[in-house]
Structure formats: structure tokens, C-alpha cells
Structure 1
Amino acid sequence: MTTNQGIHGAQDTANMLYQAGSSAAVATEDWKSPAFKEYFLDWAKAAQTARALAQMRIAVFGRMKGMGDIVGNDEMLLRLIGPEATYEGIGDVYKLMEKVSDSDIDAGIAEDRKNFEIASDLPAASHRYAMRMQLGFERFMSERGFHGFSSNFDVFQEDGRFEQIPMLAASNLMAKGYAYSNEGDVHAAVLVGAGHVLVGDAHFTEMYSLDFEKDSALMSHMGEGNWKIARKDRPLKLIDRELEIGGLGNPPTVVFSAQPGPGTLVSLATLPDTDYRLVTAHGEVLDTEEYPDVPMPYFHFRPQSGIRQSMDRWMLVGGTHHQVLTLGGYARRWELLCDILQIEHVAV
């Protein structure tokens, strides 16, 4: 017995780390058990995500006026979590759009035909323009070393040269693994990028309305969505979308509902004492019926604690109006990421 005192070494090491002010993950488990392997994978994914955040660069094109919860301290974000937010001119994307070749657009359209059921009334010229925008944004990020972007609708109309807002670009680029958010919300874009690494196929969304009968929130946004989370038993549709916001032409928009099953909504809140809090709601994506009159991605999400209690807590702890969804039972990965980043985590 005296030759097998492995726990002593672990206790001594943990004590020294604690005294040195260094945080460490601890898992008391048989190292050969499935539970230990699962925990280690979750921790490794969290560590990988923390490293990705330290290298992440987000391009920002404008910010929505009058929306307070998307405003943060970019220097604090860089210092405490890692990502760099850089404010760019949308004209640089336009210049790259002009250089996109017809053959590249043809290839992108062919890929869309593989992925989507394309509406017969979607004008070919509109689809081609949307693909030109997508390729322009993708080349901008590739050439300048960005991992994602956030744009506000108004910048495209204010520039005067754009025909659409980039709904298709946002959806396809999220599906390719880029970070994204709208309205200049850097924090939400960062969480999409984090979710891609931590779990895979993160999705930008928000709560459109509460359904008390379903005990859920109807989730959607203006038309962007990572279609990699779409349910498998319905076709992905690409439609000609009338849109009142933005003041430009109809943006081709991908329409789908999310795969039913477990999932986690996350929001990064800025605290008044120069710190961050990650607000999470673990729950279930419901088997959402088809809504023919909803021309954008949508689904119902039911938090484990119920929509009433969850929303009470969400607003009391500073959860924002933009969220990121990851599918699957990976709530612990978000908690472990907070431990590594040394930011507060609140589950609601």
C-alpha cells in the first residue's frame, strides 16, 4: 500500500499550483474509464478554443446605432479573452468583389445547387451578385488574416455601391467555419468563432419572441444562419427574400429549421467592473413545425429551467440580445472554457 500513493502527488501538485495562483482543471476519476476520456476531451477542446481565441481577428464594418448591449471595450476583450477587433472600410470588400471572376461565381453557384433547393423565382442575377459578395468577403478575410466579420446593415446602403446585404455570404461563410455576427456585435462574432472550435458548427441567432405554451423562445435573426445545424429531414431552401431593412434589393436567403435535440445558447456579457461573464442556457431545440411565412432560419429553443425562469435570470445577469447556439450536450465545454479564461460563468 505504501508504494502506491499516487493521490499524494496529485494533492501536492494541486496545492503548489494553488499557492502559485495558477488555475488547473481537476477530474477525480479512473483514468481508464469512459467518463475520464469524455472529461479530458471536453477539457482539451476548451484549451484548444482558448488558444484559438488568443489568435482570433474579427473585422468590423459599422455598428448598429442605439443598441447598447453590443458595445464593449475592445482593449479589454483583447487583454482578457484574446480576440482582436479591427474596424475596416466596406469599400475594401467592394474592391475585391469587382475582381471576382465569372468562373469563380459559376463554381460558387454550382456549390449552392448541391446544398440548397433553389426557388424557381430567385433571379439568376441576384444569386450571382450574392455569390460575388460572398467571395469578396472571403477573399478579404483570407488576404488580411481575419477569422470572421461583423457588419451592420446600414453600411451597405450608406456606401452607395452595393445592391444587397450579405445574407447568403454570412450563411455560407459560417458553414465554412468563419466567425460571424450582425450589427457590429464583436462579442457574438467571437462566440461563433469559439463555438466552431469548441463544439463545431456554431450558429448566430437571437430570441424573436417567447412562446409560453411551448415553454420556449422562437429563435431567428434577419436571415443569416449556419445551415450546417439544419435538420436532416427537410430540404434547405434558398429563396428570393423581400427585406424591409437595409434599403437595398432582395437578398437571397437560406431557410431552414435546426436539428431537434440538446443544445446550448451562449452570450458574452460585459460587466461594469471591467470583466466578462458568459451566460449559458442549456436546453432543447424543439421539433419545430414548418412556418411557410417565415423567410429565414428559425427554431424553438426550450431551456432546461423553463422559459420564464431562464429569461428572468438571463436579463438579471446581463445576457445580451444576440446569442450563439451549439448543438449537442456540450454545456461542460463552455464551463471549462470559462475556467481557462478565468471569466465568470452563469447558467440560467
Structure 2
Amino acid sequence: MNTSKKSIWFLTGSQHLYGPETLQQVAENSRKVADSLSENPEIPTAVRWQPVLTGSDEIYQTIRAAEMDDDCVGIICWMHTFSPAKMWIRGLQVLTKPMCHLHTQFFENIPYAQINMDYMNLHQSAHGGREFGHICTKLGLDRKVIVGHWARPQVQSKVGSWARVALGRASERQMKVARFGDNMRKVAVTDGDKVAAQMAFGYEVDGYGVGDLVERINAVSESRVKTLLEEYAETYTLAANVQPGGDRRGNLLVSARNELGIGDFLREGGYTAFTDTFEDLHGLPQLPGLAVQRLMAQGYGFGGEGDWKTAALVRTMKVMGEGLAGGNSFMEDYTYHFEPGNQRVLGSHMLEICPSIAADKPRLECHPLGIGGKADPCRLVFTGGAGPALNASVVDMGDRFRLVLNTVTAHPPAADLPKLPVARVLWETHPDMETGVAAWIYAGGAHHTCYSQNLSAEQLQDYAAMAGIECLLIDRDTRLAEFRRVALG
């Protein structure tokens, strides 16, 4: 998840009409803007200035070079002066990477006492950006438009927010998802068209028999298991039954071996997301729980019951949120609290919730699972942190993909949950339980989601636009009748 080598190219539009002195000033100004963005720690990539573009061939060759550069995750375009849009057509027609149109100008305020035509000729973003926007829309090119003075913190913060989404999309284009076994039998939403998904998102999904994974797990050395057990003891509070001498200590050894073996398999194959299912565990002593939680905490995407779409989404959102406070995790709406005026959703899963969202130090425990017919699995038990969050779900609608979003507010549980040995989070659904849940169901959203504490609905909407898929947002402003018409239309 190292993004230090990634970059966004800064492209400045102008033309030869204004003479060499003006173009030299345009270049100096645009370099200052690019350098300012690149130095802002809120922007998670380098912003690399490119020479000012004044003709069709230059524009085409620059955008083509950006497309060929694997480290370039997107471009920022700024029309410093008027840049006739017909020059941009050929270049924009080969652009597939995300684009941000920064609609700004070099000086923030009009110098009323000194303004003259030289100033006016140099500062033409007001209509130069409109010319550029016209051709982008005419070409059907989706992009992020950010308006405001480039030096303002809120403008640079918006650029940083967009850059995170561009990083997520870039990672998706190189993503490989490993499926250990198939999806849970007879379940609709976890299945889908993998070829269509690769065409839409860029990631590939590969299936493996569980035996392939078992072979790798069995090859893990005892010394590595011992070292990992020491790490567990240093990182978590261990329940008595998994401590040395505990009657489930052997189960913890199996969990450690699972983690190391799955990690080895993923790294060797170049996979950054994976799935498993409790219905297909042949050769595995237990359903991996602790292993999945810890691998998610390292940045891997995961989907339970073979849910490869959610596994890919979890990975993409982890890349977007890298370095921010809070986390992103595989999640499931599990059960409801229907108390009038205090309605809540308890989110959880059998085992696999990422500790990146934990509010407290996780406890490492071992308990019976009740399904799968295997040995008692180990897992991390904790409560998710309070505060704003969202749930995101990608679903296959048959002829297209749809992203469904719901903003929520997480709350501490009203009481202890001493008999619930799984990680969990309690949240309030926006705009309210009846509207939010009904809207999700009308939208066809999945029961699995990626739960995020550090990404915004706007970022996920930008992601959907970059991927060219539908996006339906359920938030505090949602009105059910209108939402229903859109969802079913």
C-alpha cells in the first residue's frame, strides 16, 4: 500500500496567442501551483508539473505519456489562460485515467487599482476553464471539478481527497483477487459476472481449490508460528484458553499457521484481496478468523462466503484511506434494535471484522462457531469506534454494476455484550431506520459491505464516476419516494 512512488501529473493549458513572455509567466505560475500541491501532506501523491501545453500534438503526447506511466494515477488540468478546446480533443480521447479539472487562477483577488489588459490576458481561467469544460462534457468525459483559489487549504484538501480516490482506482486496475473455494451455495448477491467486473473495474478474480491453500499452510515452519504467537501476546489481550497451557492453545497454533500460509499464498501470487467460505473448508481444521482479521489490518481486502466484489471493494477503500485515522473493514448488517427513538443496527460477522476500526484493544479469544463443522476458530473480539461512518456495497445488476452507499453514525453499545464473542459495531442509519433500510433494499444493496470510518460519501461517488458505474446515496437528505423511483427506474 506504499503510495510514495505514485504521482499525479499537473497539466496547464494556454496558447501561443499571447507571446513568449506571457507563456513564460504561465509556466512559472503553474509550477508554483504544482509545487504547492505536491508539498501538501494532505495530498498523498507527488504532483508532477509538466511543461505548458499550447498545441494539439503536445497535449496528445503528454496525455499519452501519462497513460503509459504506471506510476501516474491521474492528471490535474488547469486552464491558466484561454486554451482553445479543439486542441484538447485528440488527447482527451485517449485518456482513461482519472482527471481533476482545477478551476482556479494564480492571483486570488482582483487588483482593482492596478488591473490592466496584461493582467486580464494572463488571468483567463474564468472563461478558459469553461471552454475546457465544454469539450470535456461534449466528449462525455467524467471528471472532478474543483473551484477556488489553489492556495486555500479547503481547495488543496479537496484535491487530496480526489487523489486518494485516484490511488484506489489505480490499485484496482492492478488488483488480483484470490477465491479459495466457491461462493456460499444458493446465495445470489455474492456471485456475479467476473469478466464484466474486470472490464468495469480492472481487477481479475482467480479461483483456487482449498487444497492449493492447505498445501501452502502445511509448509509453514514451526519457528515462524512460534514468532507469530509471541506477536499475538504482545499485541492483544489473550483469553485464558489460548494462553500457554490453555485448552484451546492448539487452536491458536492452527490460526497462526493459517495466517502465515494464506499470507504466503497471496504474496507469492501477487494477490491483494481474497475470499473463503465456511461451506468449502476441505483440509482446513478451522474457518480462518483471526488470520483474515489480521491480513485485513495489513491492507488486504476480504469477502466472506466467496464475496469477491466486496473483497475487491474493501481493498480499494483501504488504499483510499491509507494513512488516515480510522479504518475500513468487511462488514454485515447482522441484527436490529427497534426501540422507538433509539433505533440501531448491530454490524458484525461470524469472525472476520478488521481491527483497524476497533475502539479498544482487541481480545484474542477462541469459541465454538456453530456452522462449518470444524474446530473452534480463534478471533479478535472488540467494539468499533463511535463517530461518522458509511457502508458501501457493489452489486451486479445483470447489465451493469451499482454502488450503494449509506452514511451512518456509530455509537457505543448501551450495555456490555458479554456473550457475543465477535467483533461488532453499533450504528444509527441515516436518515432514519425506516427510510435508510428500505432505501437499501429498494437499491438491491448486498448484505455484505465495506464499512469505512475515514472515507466520505463524496469520495465514493467520485470512485463510482471514475469506474463508470451507477451510484445511489442514502444519507440524511434521502426521501424514500424519490429514491425508490431512481433505484427501480
TM-score by length of 1: 0.95
Deviations 1:180-237 (A, max 9, x none): 1110011110111011011243211111112122322110000111111100xx3311
1:49-68 pair list within 5 angstroms: 49-61=168-180, 62-68=182-188
The amino acid across from 2:423 in the alignment is P
* Alignment of 1:5 onto 2:124: yes
Equivalent in the alignment of 1:153: 278
Equivalent in the alignment of 1:191: 313
* Alignment of 1:18 onto 2:18: no
Equivalent in the alignment of 1:177: 299
Partners of 2:284 and 2:164 lie apart in 1 by: 39
* Alignment of 1:218 onto 2:349: no
Equivalent in the alignment of 1:84: 204
Partners of 2:385 and 2:270 lie apart in 1 by: 32
SS of the aligned residue for 1:12 comes to: helix
Partners of 1:228 and 1:19 lie apart in 2 by: 43
The amino acid across from 1:264 in the alignment is L
Given that 2:310 and 2:393 are in contact with CA atoms closer than 8 Å, whether structure 1 keeps it comes out as yes
SS of the aligned residue for 1:71 comes to: coil
SS of the aligned residue for 1:183 comes to: helix
- The alpha carbon displacement at 1:280 in A equals 0.6
Partners of 2:351 and 2:183 lie apart in 1 by: 18
SS of the aligned residue for 1:264 comes to: strand
* Alignment of 1:37 onto 2:163: no
* Correspondence for 2:468 among 337, 342, 347: 342
SS of the aligned residue for 1:162 comes to: coil
Greater CA deviation, 19-28 or 186-195? 19-28
The amino acid across from 1:6 in the alignment is S
Partners of 2:372 and 2:315 lie apart in 1 by: 25
- The alpha carbon displacement at 1:290 in A equals 2.7
CA-atom RMSD in angstroms: 1.3
Deviations 1:9-59 (A, max 9, x none): 111111122222322211122222222112111110111111111111111
Deviations 1:55-90 (A, max 9, x none): 111111221011111111001100011111111111
SS of the aligned residue for 2:146 comes to: coil
Partners of 2:314 and 2:192 lie apart in 1 by: 17
Deviations 1:264-315 (A, max 9, x none): 100112123x211110111211122431111101111112211210010000
The amino acid across from 2:276 in the alignment is S
Given that 1:216 and 1:306 are in contact with CA atoms closer than 8 Å, whether structure 2 keeps it comes out as no
The amino acid across from 1:94 in the alignment is V
Partners of 1:125 and 1:151 lie apart in 2 by: 22
Partners of 2:426 and 2:148 lie apart in 1 by: 37
Higher relative contact order (CA 8 A, sep 6+): 1
1:1-348 pair list within 5 angstroms: 2-3=120-121, 4-61=123-180, 62-122=182-242, 123-156=248-281, 159=282, 161-200=283-322, 201-213=327-339, 214-231=342-359, 234-272=360-398, 274-288=399-413, 289-328=415-454, 330-348=456-474
The amino acid across from 2:126 in the alignment is I
Partners of 1:41 and 1:107 lie apart in 2 by: 39
Change (3 A) 1:329 1:185: closer
Which structure 1 residue ranges, 5 or more long, are not aligned? none
TM-score by length of 2: 0.68
Number of aligned residues: 342
Greater CA deviation, 251-260 or 110-119? 110-119
Partners of 1:109 and 1:326 lie apart in 2 by: 29
SS of the aligned residue for 1:319 comes to: coil
